Structure 1
Amino acid sequence: MSDTMTGKRVADSLVPGGALAHRRMPRWAPLAIAVAAVVLGSVTGLVFDLASHLQWGLIALVLFVLGTYVTTAVLEDRRQAKDRVATSLVWACFVVAVVPLFSLVATTVAKGIKNLNGHFLTHSMGGVLSSDQGGGVYHAIIGTLEQVGLASLIAVPIGVLTAIYLVEYGRGKLALAVTFFVDVMTGIPSVVSGLFILAFWILVLGFSYSGFAGSLALVILMIPIVVRSTEEMLKLVPNELREASLALGVPKWRTILKVVLPTAIGGITTGIMLAVARIAGETAPVLLLVFGNQLINNDPFHGPQSSLPFYVYEQYVLGTDASYERAWSAALVLIAFVMILNMVARGIARWKAPKTGR
């Protein structure tokens, strides 16, 4: 009987009007605070003659956080106010991070779409002067696809196998040395990798400028990203899966091939695509090793080539209205290229991910 009465008193205290009940801020209040903050931020920008809309937005964010805290503290309590302020700060940081990205993409699309057409994508710059309209980016697309493709064919197997060694087999001084050098390579500037290949491949061994030489420099930049991302994904695979496979008498190499890698294939693919996106936009190695070419060169092993980053740099340096339009259009093509790679990677990761079910 005593327990029943105690439970009833606790239940009564949790309903509206009970001892533990407290007021809640209406659901529409955060939206109202956000609208008020935007209005006040705009008014402040107009009153103080602030030319940058970015300043207006920062003022609105500060007002939104302060308004959220004050409103929550009045309607609820300080503990809830601190919680809502923390949530507001997270959203504010998200907005601050997304706005530059959105602005970059919007500006590139607005400026690059003007000159983007079938002729631009299927022709090179052969016979086109810097001040002339026309010309295309086909030779740069071919160069980028070949250089990035060759770099990926070399770097991905090396990076994935190195990560497998570090996670599944690596012990002792050798593993520590490999981890150290991977960390060092992660911070190498692209121009340093280009200078290394220039000194070793061209000046010492005597090979000529080519797309393959640029690919070798891109390999140096790509390997540490693939190793580090693959290593982290392999570490997330539960050890119970490995132990269950080994307990059934499956060899370790087959456990890695059939259990560990399929489980982590989604994250591994994403890491590889991040590495591809990183090297696809590199300009310094191309400037030093690929040397640029106005014409189409389908052979990456002989003769200079172009690439999308080099093409953007080249057209921007020319300084004419026509070259600026070509540069923006090529930048839009490069962004689309990276986005397509990411969508393909997500599709492959979802297709190859382990099927779950009851």
Structure 2
Amino acid sequence: MEETEATLFPFTKIVKQEKMKRALLLNVIDPTIGGVLIKGEKGTAKSTAVRSMEQFLPSRPAVKGCAYRCDPRFPKRLCADCKARIAAGEKLETVNVPMKVVELPLNATEDRVSGTLDIEYILKTGKKKFEPGILASANGNILYVDEINLLDDHIIDLLLDSAAMGVNYVEREGVSFSHPARFVLVGTMNPEEGNLRPQLLDRFGLSVEVEAEDSIETRMEVIKRRIAFDADPEAYVAAEKDELEKLTRKIEDARKLVKKIPADDDAVRMAAKISMNYNMEGHRADITLIRAARANAALEGRDKIAKEDMEAVAALVLAHRVKKRAFDKSGFDEAGVRKCLASM
């Protein structure tokens, strides 16, 4: 059965796959973590988990009538049109808009992704005319790329650059245009179909590898839930409405709390020690550890980063950054994290 937007399998009914679900939630709580790459074989609920996020994503304020749904809470991030409206003395009206999951087609061209400038119109009138692309729709949302490893590298670079800078910059024939493009990039892939270059892997904040369940009881539960969903999708989702609303409130509370959680010396020391233990190059891993641990603390309702938070996120942050020897199939050594923190 093909899932429609109204009948997506509920996120809260996905069996196990706790690391994948946590990685997604942490990025919603703090988008500066840098997105998540989900690797796994077919049929491991990767796409289901991402697409079903629309059922619980919280709303956010946006400027009414803005093509990019600018967030009025951050005046410096407003698009050129919103700034021009303010300069003209207009008071911007605010509306609440739900976060969405915007999906990028695998065959999308660069113009389709970033948008296009109408050069002919510009030459005739002297005014800029921009046709927004997928990055404009993604502003303030989740940008989902299925089979991201099959995308052209320059498209992935474009997505990662925009996600890191929070701006989409387009230049054609010496004419440039930019607009806000702050989004959470989520990619899913099957490693059997090829991997991403290490340089691209490192730029994802988190990464998680999901596997099919090897427990008979767990596999039975997966089958039972899916059959029950297929029998009456609307009723199945309706029965989970309270749990989904509870998850929305939990995320909203965590978003408020995460801003108040300090990156104190204890937390910074833990991040630095873990990164050094795994021979991380540069400081991207250290900073991401802090952001992810802080978001995890907020998700758990704590106002301080604890060892448990570092343990919960270390594999998500470091597993795809650890250098492996050729043909090394061993997973990330999580025991090393616990040992590293035990002495602190």
Q: TM-score, normalised by structure 1?
A: 0.21
TM-score (norm 2): 0.21
Higher relative contact order (CA 8 A, sep 6+): 2
